[in-house]
Structure 1
Amino acid sequence: MKAPLSWIREHVELPPEATPAELTARLTALGLKLESLVSPGEAITGPLVVGRVLSLVKEPQKNGKTINWCQVDVGEANGTGEPQGIVCGAHNFVEGDLVVCVLPGAVLPGDFAIAARKTYGHVSAGMICSAAELGLGDEHDGIIVLPAGAGEPGQDAREVLGLDDAVLELEVNPDRAYALSIRGIAREAALAFGTAYADPAGREVPPADGAGHPVVVDDPDGCPVFVARTVSGFDATAPTPDWMAQRLTAAGMRPVSLGVDVTNYVMLELGRPIHGYDAEKVQGILGVRRARAGERLTTLDGADRALSTEDLVVTDDSGVIGLGGVMGGQATEISDTTTRVLVESAHWDAVAMFRTGRRHKITSEAGKRNERGVDPAICEAAADRVVELLCELGGATADPGVTVVGAVPAPATVELRADLPARVTGLPVDEATTRAHLEAVGCTVRGDGERLEVVVPTWRPDLTDPYDLVEEVARVVGYDQVPSVLPPAPAGRGLTAEQRMRRRVGRTLAGAGWTELITYPFVGPADWERLGLPEDDPRRRTLRIANPLSAEEPELTTTLLPGILHALARNVGRGAGDVALFEHSLVFTPDGDERAPVLGVDRRPSADEWAAISRAVPAQPLHLALAVTGRAERPGWWGPGRVAGWADVVGAVRDLAAELGVELEVRAATAAPWHPGRCAELRVSGTVLGHAGELHPRVCRAFGLPERSAAAELDLDALLGHATAVVPAPQFSSYPVAKEDVALVVDASVPAAAVEAALREGAGPLLESVRLFDVYTGDQVGEGRTSLAFALRFRAPDRTLAEGEAAAARDAAVALAAERTGARQRS
């Protein structure tokens, strides 16, 4: 909210010595945070004076433009008293007009220095200014023409234009709509300095007599109060006076026409949005109701809008003529030919205003105030103020009839324990202080002793419970007076076993060179197509969000792969070719169609309600996803490097399982979105945790990834369920190791993991490790056969192995492998 200081001073007796900086500091302490404090004239230096146009000669130019060669009386401001010759391209002034002139030596906003210069065959000694050139608005087409009597030639124009008037821009919280007005800010200023306040809405208004324009309100909950006044003989072409235009501009609004400017001015002054209709275009009785299915309205911005049955609308005999409290309709708009104006001052339901504004994507100053809740008790005063200004400035005459439909809702009453402010803030606030401060903000306080009955003012709908009142007392006392007391830290038990294991996951992967990321848990149908998931894949069963951030991603994800693959592609697209990413996060797996009940906030849910809510909440298991592309090892003097592939993601999961004390089984499998034949199934104790491997080429193309990129995803909750909180330290033997290598030929369809498992079991307790170090296919082993070479290492913890022990264990291992997998030892 932008507020000129001179406008505020009209309604509050600020101390003469109070500076704008002091006022803004005190307002900030009360909760109206200062955004900026500016004086429009600060950026202007040098002579800026009032001038009178003595003569004006129009001179057409070869480029088709016509300029005016002007002689302007600037008094003694130019040091000679002689008329100033100035070239001007604007045409909205005539001889005898008072204008604003900037003379050589001055500097305008934007560091635009003014000097005498030759142009269009003349030496132009200065410039006649427009509002835009002085930083007062966006109007470039014409220069500023001052009203007769605004000043004398040569007089400093800063005071005439109000350029020395400080403008406060305050950040107003959504629950404090009263501060979106000069009335509200002036009340806060009076509170800050403890000075007298004159309420601009405190005026005598003519009583309702039923003789005004007829109004019927069919939805009193949506529109509790509707006031209608009419003026006749209005001159719609009358200019908006400069003082009003200056204030509107300073407050951030563009002057349009007198009829519109008056309603905007009163809205800024009182905080009550007003709407004006061309009374001759209104057909019959005004009505207020909810829109009907299929109704449409062309609003003032020219948009043809399909109305919702939840929209509050204003109607006449022709149909809908306005969106109540949000925007009027084009059919009854005030124009240059308007002579009778019907003034509407109505109070609208804040929730309905908010929903209508969002539904139709309309952002207006009126809607901004109505949706936050404004004072319902000043509708008559606001209408009377508009009528007064239309009569005073537009030559209108107020019609005698006054229509008031409905009544102001009763203000809320809140019970407050007198000692609550002291107990909450820690300040020595007694009952008298509490009463005085609540009355200072407009409350009526009844009762005494332990309990107070507080009637909140009509302009403060945000005060609904005792703690709101405590906050009011605290801000008047001063938040800076509240002592800073640290609460005692309760004794803790440290991290849980589950938390330690989850952190171990991140440390293990990060230590191995993987980079952690966090993605949004939102997906859309296009992601399932990119992953190549079949129509019956359970991952396609998702929860749809009622109000998604993006229409393209309206669902909660059941897999981490879309997010991590998009991130991988984004990194590759920005030049990071060698990327290894991991994420562990929740996914959402709905297992039913039960909906959670919608409960109030006035009580705790019952046991049955809580159970119903719990049943409706989907399962949210913790998943882990990894994705890699590019080189795992870069080339250099040490060697050619290595491209990352499926073995890296499988190896990372193996290392993680080992760190958690879990024995992981890896088997060949087929699953989307992995490449058939290059996909591994990850198991623990026979339970499938997830898959890993090389992504399908179509998936790589769909996500914009290099070919042979690899990924893995597994159920981390299930993995951690098999983990041990404390992994036993490895045991080391000081006795020598016995090395035995075997090469086994098996059918190509036999997984190497099955052969390794058989070797490990058959070798017995002396086996320290087994490692596959070579895979061979070719003529020497026959078609459809594969040679797998394993390095077996044997060692006893308490002795040196006797001759033949290692060989016997090897032979036992080979024998079991032959029995289980049909392997034969390669000669």
Structure 2
Amino acid sequence: MKFSESWLRSHVPTTASRDALSAVLTAIGLEVEEITALGEGLDNVVVARIVEAVRHPEADRLQVCKVDAGQDVLLQIVCGAPNARVGLVAPLALVGAQIGELKIKPARLRGVESNGMLCSAKELGLDSDASGLLELPDGAPVGTPLVDYLGLPDASIEIKLTPNRADCFSVRGIAFDVAAATRSEVQPFAAEAVPAQAGRELAIALDAGAEAPRYLGRVIEGIDAAATTPVWMAERLRRSGVRPVSLLVDITQYVMLELGQPMHAYDLETLKGGIGVRRSRAGEALKLLDGRDATLDDSFLVVTDADRPVGLAGLMGGFDTRVTDATRSVFLEAAHFAPAAIMGRGRKLGLHTDAGHRFERGVDPQLPRTAIEYATRLVLELAGGTPAPVTEAVREADLPQPATIALRRARITRVLGITIEDAEVERILRALGMAVEAAAEGWRVTAPSRRFDIAIEEDLIEELARIHGYERIPTTLPGGAARIAMPSETCLDDLSVRRQLVARDMLETINYAFVDAQLLDQWALHDGRVALANPLSAELAVMRPMLLPGLVATLGRNAARQAGRVRLFELGRVFAQAAGGPGQAPEETVRVAAAVCGDAAALQWGEKARKVDFHDLKGDLESLAAASGARLAFRAAPHPFAHPARSADVWRDDRRIGWIGQLHPRLAAAMEIDVDVVAFELDLAPLVQRALPRAARLSRFPAVRRDLAVLVAEAVSWEALSASIRDAAGPLLREVALFDRYVGQGVEPGFKSLAMGLILQETSRTLTDHDVDAVVTSVVAAIEREHGARIRS
């Protein structure tokens, strides 16, 4: 953000010197990157008018000018500027002036006497333009010192803003911070409503939902668009890094820089009907103000006229409806667009505009009315005209509302380590434009609507620290003894989980905790999303509800770069909307996920290559579960992102803890992944829980094995069958292992043959045949009764 020092001081009178003001800005987080002093050392430079100009007799590119500098006689000046002409008003450095390193003296140029120098903006250090003389308005008073006429000396200050401080993309927004830090007061801003004098109005329709909840417009007829931008406005724009263009454009730019509200002006005669705001349609075309033709997709917001796009909402107006010097009636626009609706759209078209820069960070939703009244007054004062009533369309329910936050004295002290007096707390908060109400433990504070970054108590404490002064917070070493926390033996630690997965030939990844909403749409993850209030970009606008979308996207990028065998895992948090709604802190859950593709094993000579499948990854997961002693159950379950026949929910102790399976081919195709991907994702806490380890004596007595082959219906899962076997076998059963599955000749259709081994053992004696036969008999009876299984003959 770039602005002039004098402009800022007009909003917040302060006696602080320029250096002190710069130090204050940097200290409160508005880092000053550059200060350019303007108009220093121009004591003998005056406003002058060229009254005669003839070609130099000895040089074609020079002119001999007679110049009126408000003195008794005309001065003769030899000038080589291409725009030097009769009637031009320009700065004149008199003899004795010091312009940079040049001392102005009487001189003879090619034999002609010259008594001074007509100057360009660059020579005076006011601008980078060296193409010709600095042209001043025709009405500029001849003989007046230039510093008085242009309000010099001044300085152009450029500050570096963090993305959360969108309110400081305006001079007035910066003024509140300066006032709080310097114990000054921001000057009241007058933006009284301009009475309507004409009746012409344009109807406004909002068809973009929460993306465009407020739009105001006003017709002004009978203006003089060719009127000259006044010097005071042009200079403030120029010192803020904006080159003046034309009066109407300059007014909209001026309002944006002063208040922070982007605006646009349409030539009324080029509009054909009512104004609307809607989503663009794929393939729709619009010629922009800069002359380029933009082809849109359905992610843009457009301002329409009789359903014809006439502007990219929040970014740039259209070429066909632009204002020119021939414009006699205008339609002024001031609107509020949601940051998520603008974010990233300009980059799609290679655009970077001041309006887009502000809207994608957040503009005060209550500002459009003030801005349009202020702009109207400026238009009437400088270009004349007759204003119509302001027309407004608003969706109140979709406008962001500042929350009231409880601020506790004790919390301030605990976070900052210092005590700030109550009066100072209230002064700082009120100076920043906040509403403060006393409460039992502190205050109830409501931030102004322009402060999108104030959401929780810690945000308010940060404001107090910033304005009170970080240098006033003492540097102290922490005292007291540190309490050593012993890791719990009742759960597996994260490092052990990582080591186990690495031992299974996987690589750990770390992905962003926020993802693209369109990626979640591909996964059909629509419920419980947590949208960021101030995302870095549109592609990173939603907190992830699952690890797998980001993890699989990483796998896809590796596979696309000829990584034939990819095995990745990640431990991280996922986020879901709290039961209380958007106002509550989101719920966070730690999960572990893995995604694999390609060959099941690394390239080798001892085994034929084959593709990884569901059972390979299931083995990896069971190996991880074994580290905590977890016994997992797998139950077929449909998911929109999963292959309909190759996925299952994962259960532990009658609790669903996650999912494992192959991704749906349609999802893989949508993500441009041309290989089969197998993955799992589980809540970490229930997976790593384990019983407190206890030492136990190993049995000295031999184990006995009995193998059974049973016929059972194809629909009966091994999980259900093995559960019945464990219940029936009782405490003698140490393990039940499935070692064969057979269908085909000798097995009737609809059935399968399962061969399993029962491992039995007692800790106090050797088992007898009677013991073993009793267990087998009990098992056979149980599976026949519960599943219709029978011994295969």
Match of 2:186 in 1: 197
Partner SS, residue 90 of structure 2: strand
- Structure 1 residue 362 and structure 2 residue 360: aligned? no
Match of 2:557 in 1: 555
1:135-150 correspondence runs (5 A)? 135-148=125-138, 150=140
Match of 2:3 in 1: 3
Match of 2:526 in 1: none
- Structure 1 residue 244 and structure 2 residue 233: aligned? yes
Distance across 2 between alignment mates of 1:335 and 1:41: 32
1:516-665 correspondence runs (5 A)? 555-556=557-558, 589-590=567-568, 599=576, 610-611=590-591, 614-616=592-594
Distance apart, 1:218 and its partner CA: 1.0
Distance across 2 between alignment mates of 1:45 and 1:445: 48
Moved more, 400-409 or 456-465: 400-409
Match of 2:413 in 1: 422
Distance across 2 between alignment mates of 1:559 and 1:314: 42
Distance across 2 between alignment mates of 1:303 and 1:547: 34
Match of 1:321 in 2: 310
Which residue, out of 57, 60, 64, partners 1:69?
64
- Contact 2:303 2:310 survives alignment (8 Å): yes
1:276-287 correspondence runs (5 A)? 276-287=265-276
Match of 1:88 in 2: 80
Unaligned runs of 5+ in 2: 486-493, 496-509, 512-547, 579-583, 598-603, 607-793
Match of 2:49 in 1: 52
Letter in 1 for 2:291: G
- Structure 1 residue 483 and structure 2 residue 461: aligned? no
Match of 2:39 in 1: 41
Distance apart, 1:136 and its partner CA: 2.6
- Contact 1:300 1:329 survives alignment (8 Å): yes
Partner SS, residue 134 of structure 1: coil
Q: Residues 139, 258 of structure 1: CA spacing in aligned structure 2 closer, same or farther, 3 A cutoff?
A: farther
Letter in 2 for 1:160: Y
Letter in 2 for 1:400: A
Distance apart, 1:373 and its partner CA: 0.8
Distance apart, 1:333 and its partner CA: 1.0
- Contact 1:5 1:166 survives alignment (8 Å): yes
Between the two proteins, the alignment pairs up a number of residues equal to 549
Q: Residues 434, 112 of structure 1: CA spacing in aligned structure 2 closer, same or farther, 3 A cutoff?
A: same
Q: Residues 102, 483 of structure 1: CA spacing in aligned structure 2 closer, same or farther, 3 A cutoff?
A: same
Q: Residues 556, 492 of structure 1: CA spacing in aligned structure 2 closer, same or farther, 3 A cutoff?
A: farther
Distance across 1 between alignment mates of 2:268 and 2:28: 43
Letter in 2 for 1:48: V
Q: Residues 433, 591 of structure 1: CA spacing in aligned structure 2 closer, same or farther, 3 A cutoff?
A: closer
Match of 1:639 in 2: none
- Contact 1:87 1:122 survives alignment (8 Å): no
Distance apart, 1:70 and its partner CA: 0.1
- Structure 1 residue 442 and structure 2 residue 433: aligned? yes
Partner SS, residue 34 of structure 2: strand
Match of 2:365 in 1: 376
Partner SS, residue 145 of structure 1: coil
Which residue, out of 177, 180, 187, partners 1:188?
177
- Contact 2:77 2:117 survives alignment (8 Å): no
Letter in 2 for 1:145: E
Which residue, out of 275, 281, 284, partners 2:264?
275
- Contact 2:280 2:297 survives alignment (8 Å): yes
Distance apart, 1:203 and its partner CA: 3.5
Distance apart, 1:439 and its partner CA: 2.2
Distance apart, 1:131 and its partner CA: 2.1
Match of 1:403 in 2: 391
Letter in 2 for 1:401: P
Distance across 2 between alignment mates of 1:543 and 1:317: 41
Superposed CA deviations along residues 336-378 of structure 1, whole A, max 9, x for unmatched, are 2111111000011112211212322311111111111121212
- Contact 2:198 2:387 survives alignment (8 Å): no
- Structure 1 residue 266 and structure 2 residue 255: aligned? yes
Which residue, out of 222, 228, 231, partners 2:217?
228
Superposed CA deviations along residues 571-613 of structure 1, whole A, max 9, x for unmatched, are xxxxxxxxxxxxxxxx963499x9997755966767xx644xx
Partner SS, residue 334 of structure 2: strand
1:335-346 correspondence runs (5 A)? 335-346=324-335
Q: Which has the larger radius of gyration?
A: 1
1:115-130 correspondence runs (5 A)? 118-119=108-109, 122-130=112-120
Partner SS, residue 459 of structure 2: helix
- Contact 1:212 1:401 survives alignment (8 Å): yes
1:674-685 correspondence runs (5 A)? none
Letter in 2 for 1:3: F
- Contact 1:259 1:334 survives alignment (8 Å): yes
- Contact 1:12 1:197 survives alignment (8 Å): yes
Q: Residues 547, 179 of structure 1: CA spacing in aligned structure 2 closer, same or farther, 3 A cutoff?
A: farther
Distance apart, 1:279 and its partner CA: 0.9
Partner SS, residue 27 of structure 1: helix
- Contact 2:278 2:302 survives alignment (8 Å): yes
Unaligned runs of 5+ in 1: 500-519, 522-541, 563-586, 620-666, 670-827
Letter in 2 for 1:87: C
Match of 2:704 in 1: none
Q: Residues 146, 558 of structure 1: CA spacing in aligned structure 2 closer, same or farther, 3 A cutoff?
A: closer
Superposed CA deviations along residues 116-156 of structure 1, whole A, max 9, x for unmatched, are 55546634444312223333334444422333553443x53
Letter in 1 for 2:45: L
Letter in 2 for 1:5: E
Distance apart, 1:470 and its partner CA: 0.9
Sequence identity percentage: 35
Superposed CA deviations along residues 306-338 of structure 1, whole A, max 9, x for unmatched, are 212121110112611111011111111112211
Distance across 1 between alignment mates of 2:45 and 2:556: 58
Distance apart, 1:205 and its partner CA: 5.1
Match of 1:133 in 2: 123
Match of 2:498 in 1: none
- Contact 2:263 2:333 survives alignment (8 Å): yes
Q: Residues 2, 69 of structure 1: CA spacing in aligned structure 2 closer, same or farther, 3 A cutoff?
A: same
Q: Residues 604, 159 of structure 1: CA spacing in aligned structure 2 closer, same or farther, 3 A cutoff?
A: closer
Letter in 1 for 2:8: I
Distance across 2 between alignment mates of 1:428 and 1:338: 60
TM-score scaled to structure 2, two decimals?
Answer: 0.61
Distance across 2 between alignment mates of 1:85 and 1:73: 10
Partner SS, residue 419 of structure 1: helix
Letter in 2 for 1:589: R
Q: Residues 414, 588 of structure 1: CA spacing in aligned structure 2 closer, same or farther, 3 A cutoff?
A: farther
- Contact 1:183 1:199 survives alignment (8 Å): no
- Contact 1:421 1:434 survives alignment (8 Å): no
Match of 2:657 in 1: none
Which residue, out of 461, 464, 473, partners 1:473?
464
Q: Residues 377, 559 of structure 1: CA spacing in aligned structure 2 closer, same or farther, 3 A cutoff?
A: closer
- Contact 2:282 2:297 survives alignment (8 Å): yes
Distance across 1 between alignment mates of 2:459 and 2:250: 36
Letter in 1 for 2:465: A
Distance apart, 1:59 and its partner CA: 5.7
